[in-house]
């Protein structure tokens, strides 16, 4: 896997699609500066590509994960959704939790759910802006302000515009661009403070498979 950055505390990789984050520690080379076990700081879905942080020691892991929990990490994703959004910019603010027939999926809930259910609800906030519109799709940038499981996939499906190629959240008979073999979702940028005090921004280019889909469109 391509290494975007490395020091004594942190390894930043450009995760390809179809790689499970739970196996990521086995897929990268041993750290150069530390004999301790590698630990991923956060996760990306299996078919989501992009920037992924891996800590080299417990102290770095705790320091970095704390920023995720406190919503201090800047995150940017590039995605293609089905249809055209009503606005060029917007904010999606909902509650998410597991629910419905498929337990793999997150579902949007009303804040007026019964008390028993409300305890499990988690606030999810996503900001987005449109980059380009195609005939049947919209290419856009999204910034999740919270880090909920499947947040972007659930949010855009809730708007009626599921991510192209998403077999879990996509609607029945949703169109799929020619050449797309997975969900069109890429973690393109992550900005975070490192243990030594510096704030670093890590960027990943759109992979070739997704670039080719845009060329065809």
147-188 residue pLDDT tens: 999 999 999 999 999 999 999 999 988 999 999 999 999 999
Whether the predicted pLDDT of 128 surpasses 90: yes
Inter-residue contact 1 to 16 (CB < 8 Å): yes
Q: pTM for this structure? A: 0.91
CA 177 to chain centre: 21
Q: Is 7 a catalytic residue?
A: no
* Residue in 14, 45, 47, 166 annotated catalytic: 45
pLDDT-wise least confident of 6-10, 35-39, 83-87: 35-39
Q: How would residue 116 be classed by pLDDT, with cut points 50, 70 and 90? A: very low
**What pLDDT is stored for residue 103 in this prediction?**
72
State whether residue 22 is helix, strand or coil.
Answer: helix
CA atoms within 13 A on the CB side of 77: 28
Question: Could you give the percent of the chain with pLDDT greater than 70?
Answer: 91
Q: Which residues contact 66 (CB under 8 A, 6 or more apart)?
A: none
Report pLDDT for 101. Answer: 72
Q: Which domains does the chain have, with CATH numbers?
A: 2-73+189-205 (3.30.2350.10)
pLDDT of residue 75: 97
What confidence category does residue 49 fall into, taking pLDDT thresholds of 50, 70 and 90?
very high
Nearest of 140, 143, 124, 126 to residue 88 by alpha carbon = 140
């Amino acid at each position: 896997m391509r290494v975007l950055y490395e020091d004594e505390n942190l390894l930043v990789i450009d995760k390809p699609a179809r790689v499970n984050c739970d196996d990521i520690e086995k897929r990268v080379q041993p750290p150069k500066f530390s004999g301790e076990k590698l630990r991923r700081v956060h996760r990306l879905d299996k078919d989501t590509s992009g920037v992924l942080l891996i800590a080299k020691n417990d102290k770095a892991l705790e320091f970095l994960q704390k920023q995720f929990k406190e919503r201090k990490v800047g995150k940017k994703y590039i995605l293609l959704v089905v249809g055209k959004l009503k606005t060029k910019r917007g904010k999606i603010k909902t509650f998410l939790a597991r629910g419905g027939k498929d337990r793999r999926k997150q579902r949007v809930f009303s804040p007026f759910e019964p008390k028993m259910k409300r305890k499990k609800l988690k606030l999810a906030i996503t900001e987005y802006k449109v980059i380009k519109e195609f005939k049947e799709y919209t290419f856009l940038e999204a910034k999740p302000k919270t880090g909920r499981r499947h947040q972007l996939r659930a949010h855009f499906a809730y708007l009626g515009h599921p991510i192209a190629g998403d077999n879990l959240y996509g609607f029945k008979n949703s169109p799929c661009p020619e050449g797309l073999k997975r969900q069109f979702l890429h973690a393109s940028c992550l900005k975070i403070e490192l243990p030594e005090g510096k704030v670093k921004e890590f960027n990943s280019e759109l992979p070739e498979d997704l670039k080719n889909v845009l060329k065809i469109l």
